[in-house]
Structure 1
Amino acid sequence: PSVVFFGFTHCPEVCPTTLFELAGWLKTMGDSGKNLNAYFVTVDPERDTPETMNTYVSNFSDRITGITGDPDKVHAMAKAFGIYWKKVDTGDGDYTMDHTASVLLLNARGDFAGTIAYGESADTAVAKLKRLAAGWQT
């Protein structure tokens, strides 16, 4: 089973908060979550190189794997998961990304098994992850 979150390394709030919380949830689960794979997939592959992703996710947990790659393929993956993303000009020559803020839960077959919403309580998130790790749909 897997936990998948789409975001980007220049994200000011949602991504670092979610990855910090995800790292805590995995730690709270201990051995009961050892079979869970956790992935952070960029929606900004133009800036998020493999090195950038590895450095970024290592700030949160060694259990989270950063994924980036060819922009067309990364965006096709996001689209396949029903993820919303949009490049937004910040007016100062830079940009940010709007994106889905939910964590996706996938069962061992890779089928969609639920979500953890941004800001959902830690107790609820851990309960969902425990059910996912045990093989149940959340």
Structure 2
Amino acid sequence: MSNFIKKVLVLCVACAASIACKQNGDSTTNYADISVGDEMIAELTAPPFVPKPVGDRPAKKLIVNMEIKEIEGEMADGVKYVYWTFGGSVPGSFIRTRVGDEVEFTLKNHPDNKLPHNIDLHAVTGPGGGAASS
């Protein structure tokens, strides 16, 4: 393939990616002004399953309770491993929220665990970027 065609293809892909990733800067929604409604126990699912879409429901306070439990399992034939399960699965449970939801997350270490564990949540906002809350 000639260098010219390669350059044109790279340019086309770059343009398509920049258009696809363009964010609408005209949004006037102030997400801090979304009022949070009733409490609801969050639906948690083990991978590969995901909770059903939230649809157009109003913002709610989602209650998430998750336990970390060390479980011995077989990684490969004859190879045992102690897994740190989150909500009973590795990787941990899937939690689906919508913009404006407030999430109350309670993480509990099972009393039989040999080590205490914590969790790293991504895309969390709160005191200290969420770090102080987790």
- Normalised by the length of structure 1, the TM-score is 0.27
- Normalised by the length of structure 2, the TM-score is 0.27
Which one scores higher on RCO, CA 8 angstroms, separation ≥ 6?
A: 1
* Rg comparison, structure with higher value: 2
